[in-house]
Chains A and B, each alone.
Chain A
Amino acid sequence: MAYSDKVIDHYSNPKNVGTLDKSKNNVGTGLVGAPECGDVMRLQIEVDEVSGLISDAKFKTFGCGSAIASSSLATEWLKGKSVEEALAIDNMDIVEELNLPPVKIHCSVLAEDAIKAAINDYRVKNGLAELVTEEKSH
């Protein structure tokens, strides 16, 4: 199976690889997937307390090229968005942008889960209720 140029580009030059200080109150961390399934994504957001916008986003991913590309793309999209706007990112947007084939759709689902998990972590840390989202099939 050939990878799309965009997947190859994110894989070769991933954006925003790294780690934010998870002990900080304005940092939300989402860790999703499992080593046994061959995909683990950790996605982090840092929220600017004045503007309420996501000022930084970082990821680390154990997985195939599509999983790496999905998380790299997600961090790019997150930066500059409000938390509410970030919640609207749908896995199918990632599928479309990266031209993911059907067998790789689960990578995009994982990225969406990681975004939601990071936002929830941020919300809980800041005294907000955890959001319940519907399960997408992986």
Chain B
Amino acid sequence: MDPRVLEAMLPYFVEKFGNAASRNHSFGWVAEEAVDYAREQVAKLINADPKEIIFTSGATESDNLALKGVYEMYASKGNHIITCTTEHKAVLDSCKHIEKIGGQVTYLQVQPDGLIDLKELEAAITDKTILISIMYGNNEIGVIQPIKEISQIARKHGVLFFTDATQAVGKVPVDVMADGIDLMAFSGHKMYGPKGVGALYVRRKNPRVKVTSQMDGGGHERGMRSGTLNVPGIVGFGKAAELCMQEMESEAKRLSTMRDRLETELMKLEEAYVNGNTDHRLPHTTNISFKYVEGEGLMMGFNKNIALSSGSACTSASLEPSYVLKALGLGDDLAHSSLRFGLGRFTTDEQIDFTIKAVTDTVLKLREMSPLWEMFKEGVDINAIEWAHH
């Protein structure tokens, strides 16, 4: 989190402790004013009206509210939703829930570069389709989907368009008007704000969109999300949005320059591959497979100093590699050999230098230890070996 965000939040824990929903005393007014101001800051970042911002506990809740809320609200119009296989689990699992209660969901495959095929999207629309849910920028590979084109298709067929823009908001210009977005999920902590606060943008005009509340109670947030507002969190979220607004342009340039340098240097290694489209992607991410070394083993070489994640989910109880990488058509072996790099506001050139050296050294060291690398070097066809699957 940015220290400037913390500074903005601090008064709202003790000094200004009011409940934003308490309308009959000054403590409540102070809190309400702070929330209103934050709502304006957040709305401005995405070119929305403040009334279109519904505060939630984070993007997972926003995803749930958008999908389940639209499904319930528009039940009389249809029960079909279109999404894609590389969406965040909060979207995919909400869709699975909807299928269980009678909905129909189409999961579009992505192309090898991670982008969806717009023709396939349009062909999947039926007279029962109520919502298209396609993420803005992917959390694992950073690929940015053709948002404007998707919204135009949705508009043409009278279907609502929801996007999970958690990775994109604050990093690249996101404009709900120009992009034609009807609903959008995003969160505070992905833009240097606090954890535990997020928002759902819900369009109020052309068309006016409604969602059925998934959290019932006092009717907060225009009846779409009950619950006492997290005033300090929202204030921090607002401040974070303001900072992104001011610094995004220069920051995106700085990050993509560092990212490109990192990538260019690491691609000097033999048998290294960048995953996903490199022309349409977020400025701060890259995902690289280093063939014949295993991602988790690789991370162990520098995880004391660098926080990265591996496409191989070996750390969890399941031994399944990343479903996003598999959706791109990567074999399990390459998916197990990938690392996801995420840069941020506090990343420096020195850290990039350090990362280049640490990753390069570790890949070389582990390849010396890898039986697969030895076989590759000796010209043995690894795919021809009958491996015992366990």
- Give chain A's interface residues, CB within 8 Å of chain B: 1, 3, 8, 11, 14, 17, 19, 31-42, 60-65, 67-68, 103, 106, 110, 138
Contact = CB atoms under 8 A, between A and B. Distances in A.
Given A1-B315, A38-B312, A38-B314, A63 B294 contact: yes
Contacts of B333: 35-36
Contacts of B374: 19, 60
B297 interface: yes
A64 B311 CA distance: 13
Interface centre among B296, B300, B315, B331 (most CB of A within 10 A): B300
B75 interface: no
B306 to A, nearest CB: 15
Contact of A106 (B321, B369, B390): B390
A110 B388 CA distance: 11
Interface centre among A8, A32, A37, A41 (most CB of B within 10 A): A37
B319 A37 contact: yes
B294 A64 contact: yes
13 contacts: A17-B369, A35-B332, A35-B336, A37-B332, A37-B390, A38-B294, A38-B296, A38-B319, A40-B387, A41-B371, A60-B374, A62-B292, A65-B300
B145 to A, nearest CB: 29
9 closest A-B pairs (Cβ-Cβ)?
A34-B387, A36-B332, A35-B333, A138-B390, A64-B296, A42-B371, A60-B371, A65-B300, A38-B336
A14 B368 CA distance: 11
Contact of B297 (A32, A33, A42, A68): A68
Given A14-B369, A35-B372, A60-B370, 20 more contacts: A8-B300, A11-B300, A31-B371, A31-B385, A35-B336, A35-B387, A36-B331, A37-B332, A38-B321, A40-B371, A40-B372, A41-B371, A62-B293, A62-B297, A62-B371, A62-B372, A64-B296, A64-B312, A65-B297, A103-B316
A17 B297 CA distance: 15
Contacts of A65: 296-297, 300
Interface string B260-297: 00000000000000000000000000000000111111
Nearest to A14: B369
B382 interface: yes
SS of A interface (majority)? mixed
B52 to A, nearest CB: 41
B361 to A, nearest CB: 12
Contacts of A34: 387-390
A89 B154 CA distance: 63
User: What class of interface size applies to chain B in its complex with A?
Assistant: 20 to 34
Interface of B: 292-297, 300, 312, 314-317, 319, 321, 331-333, 336, 368-374, 382, 385, 387-390
A72 to B, nearest CB: 9
B165 to A, nearest CB: 31
Nearest to B321: A38
B332 A33 contact: no
Contacts, number: 91
A70 to B, nearest CB: 12
Contacts of A1: 315
A70 B233 CA distance: 45
A1 B387 CA distance: 29
Nearest to A107: B314
Nearest to A138: B390
Nearest to B390: A138
A126 B180 CA distance: 74
B31 to A, nearest CB: 40
A2 B333 CA distance: 25
A37 B321 CA distance: 8
A37 B300 contact: no
A33 B292 CA distance: 14
A28 to B, nearest CB: 15
Contacts of A61: 369-371
A36 B387 contact: yes
Contact of B294 (A14, A39, A60, A106): A39
Contacts of A39: 294
Contact of A33 (B314, B315, B390): B390
A11 B296 CA distance: 12
Given A1-B315, A33-B387, A40-B372, A64 B332 contact: no
Nearest to B382: A35
A90 B300 CA distance: 26
Given A1-B315, A35-B333, A36-B333, A62 B390 contact: no
Contacts of A42: 371
Contacts of B389: 34, 36-37
B300 A3 contact: yes
